[in-house]
Each structure stands twice: as C-alpha cells, then as structure tokens.
Structure 1
C-alpha cells in the first residue's frame, strides 16, 4: 500500500483492515498469515494523513519490496502526481503486480502512469468530472462503487474501498473468506452489488 502526505485515512485504513483481518483468519501451512500488508512511502519520513494522523511506512521506494497486489489509496494527490519518482515506481510495479487496486483519487495516480488509458475506472463522485476532463480517454464510470477490470480494480471513495477490498479477497481466496472477514469486521457487505457512486440526489 502506497502512503503519502494527505492520504485519506479510510482509503488507507479500510483496505488495510480488510486484508490484514483476512490474513489473521486464514493461515498458510506454516501457520503464517495468508495475507501480509506492507506500507511504502517515497522517503523514511513519517507521513501525515488528512486530519493529522501520522503513519510510519514499512518501506521506502528505494527498498522496493516484493509484493503481489499494489494498493493506491486516494486523498490530496496533486503533490504525488508531480513526483516523477513515485509515478515511475507505480508504472513499473503495476506491471509486475498480479493486481493493482486504486481507491478514490488513487485513480488519478494510476491514470498518471497511463495504466487507465482506454479503460473504465471508478473514483469518488466529487472527482469524476476532473478525472474525465484530465484523461478524456478513460471511461469514467459514475454508476458503480467499484469496478473490476481484470488486472486493475478501481473504487469510489472511502467506504467503497472496503467493498472493493472484500471483492478482491473473494476473487483471490474465495467468497467464504471474504464473508468471514466482513463478519469479523461487523461490516455489511453486498457481494457483487453495484450501486451509485454518488450520494443520494447527487453532489
């Protein structure tokens, strides 16, 4: 999971909770967690999330740890979009990942790599118009909370990232584990359901 200054707390924490909870519930033959979540940042300085929460990442980009699923949360992404090192790293590691998952405005970072060119994508209802304006060749979906497009999953904002994360657990490890994870989190998950990404009545 990429972390950066002004990352949205629940965009980061929601998927982190889903994947780490699933890892606690399901073990390998060696009694290790089936899933292990790592955080990575551009530098070794603590990251200040939106609202002031500080996070110390497990790794830096230079350490470049191995992983299978790349998670890109949203938040205020302008500074990260302008950081060529981060965008280059995302572009490279997306190609080596089994699956790439963006939450909310994390789609802007993914779009900056060119990975969404000609493809459908979801983002927070408040940011759909900007995503479509800046990258007109992206098929911005306004009718879903999350969207699975094979090697890329994108979701709308904040809590939609939890739904998409549970879908990813279901896709990779089976629906039973996804439902056990949702139950452990006391979260109501409607598997496979697509709903309007925006609030009732629109913005």
Structure 2
C-alpha cells in the first residue's frame, strides 16, 4: 500500500513539474518582433530586439507577429499610372516612389507607346490603352492635360476603368481628366490652387475645395498640386495597409511632411 502511495506521489510531482514548465514556456512565447520598415531588400526578416537593420541600416520597428504574418500574405495591388506627354514630373514621380516602396506593382500607360517628355526627361510607357492590364488603382496627373481631356478615345478608356479599378487618384490638374470622364460627378474634389475656380466652372456638378491637401470620397481621391500627390498616395497606402504601414513608408522615403489629418476624408467606409 505504501508503495502505491509513493508511486501516486511521484506521478503527481512529475505532472506538477511538467505543467509548470509548460506554463513557463507559454509565457515566453514570442508575440511581437522587430522588423525593418519596407525597403524592398529585407522586408521579410525579423529580429528579436530593437536596433538597426544589419542589412540596410534602417531603424527597426516593433510589430505583432500576427500583423507581420498578415503583411507577408498581403494581396498584391496593381497601380496604373496614366501618363500623357508634358506631364508634371513630380506629379507622378512622388506617388511612384510611395507605391513602389509600399510593394505595389506599377504599370505605366499612355494612349500609345510613343516616347513621352517631361521637364527634360524622356521615357516610354509600358502599355498603350489598347493592351493595358487591369489595375486595382488608376492614377492620373497634371501638367499638359488639355490634349488628354479633349481626346475622346482616352477619356472613354478612363471611364471604362470604373468596371475594374477599385480606386481612382488624381494629382494636381489631373482632376480635369477624372472630371471629363464623369468620375467626379456629384463628388467633392480639389486641385492645384491656381485652378480651383477653373475646375469648378468646368464641372459644376463637382464641389471643388481650396486649401485642402487631398479629398477622399471613399474610392475617389483628388489632391492639390504637385507634392500633394505624395500625401494622396500615402493616404491610399493607409487605406489599404493601415496607418503604421503608411508611416513606415513615409519614413523610408524620408518624407516628414505627411500629416494624415491634413486631408478631408468624406467616407471612411472604403
């Protein structure tokens, strides 16, 4: 009988020790990691303490393990840049830097694949409106926009993107292009500060606001002039990936002028 009691005591002791070890192990399970802000070269690396990324030198940021896992499985986003000859360089170069840093796929489209010119730079678009792939986001830009607005083939193509694109973004006087395609009908918009009154006259069914960095109608975003396109692009990244992710993009490109609340968000549901 004593031997039976001794065996039971030993079993209970072993269970207690084993349970305590298991509990200790559970309490030390890692639920957060340190990661490099998106830079394209080491986005999938994790580290167990704060500091500098040994590969790119950027300051590591803390992120929950679940959020990091979600980041690895993010749905890819394709962004179509419609670019016309005489486009304003920073209008598209700024948002392009934001979206590529965010890991989005960029395609450039124009009416044809002929060489385009802007601010002393020449380049060839990847696609024409005849063979452009479907995109999640369509972005249009300012500069020499008059010929684009008058081109019925281009405007028809842009209007047709409403059947496939989830978001539209205009930078500067690119708002005229969206307006001509009817995308700004009964919407609120903004544009380059010298064009506020002219845009309002051109599209009386659109409410045009001055002194507004960007206006978000839900899935249609317009921005003020030139550098404001960076703010609009970061805002769209925030909508798709969250504010912390957008902040890390701003940090990566060293854009310290982004103030999320500086824009007007009319519909937070999308």
Fold agreement, TM-score > 0.5: yes
SS of match in other structure, 1:39 = strand
Q: Would you say 1:110 and 2:202 are equivalent positions?
A: no
List runs of 5+ in structure 1 lacking aligned partners.
24-34, 196-203
For 1:82 and 1:102, locate their aligned partners in 2 and report how far apart those are by CA, in whole Å.
Answer: 17
- d(CA) in 1 for partners of 2:224 and 2:215? 9
Distance 1:151 1:175 in 2: 17
SS at match of 1:136: coil
**Alignment check: 8 A CA contact 1:70 1:94 kept:** no
Compute the TM-score of the two structures, normalised by the length of structure 1. 0.87
**Could you tell me which residue of structure 2 aligns to residue 185 of structure 1?**
253
RMSD over aligned Cα atoms = 1.2
Where does residue 86 of structure 1 map in the other structure?
A: 154
Structure 2 unpaired stretches of 5+? 1-80, 265-270
1:98-150 superposed Cα distances (whole Å, 9 cap, x missing partner): 10000111100000011111210010001111101111121001131101101
The structure 1 residue matched to 2:240, chosen from 154, 172, 181, is: 172
> Which structure 2 residues correspond to residues 1-203 of structure 1 after superposition, within 5 A?
1-23=81-103, 35-49=104-118, 51-188=119-256, 189-194=258-263
Query: 1 or 2 for the larger relative contact order (CA 8 Å, sep ≥6)?
Result: 1
Which structure shows the higher strand fraction?
2
Check whether the contact 1:103–1:158 (CA below 8 A) recurs between aligned residues: yes
Number of aligned residue pairs: 183
- The TM-score normalised by the length of structure 2 is 0.66
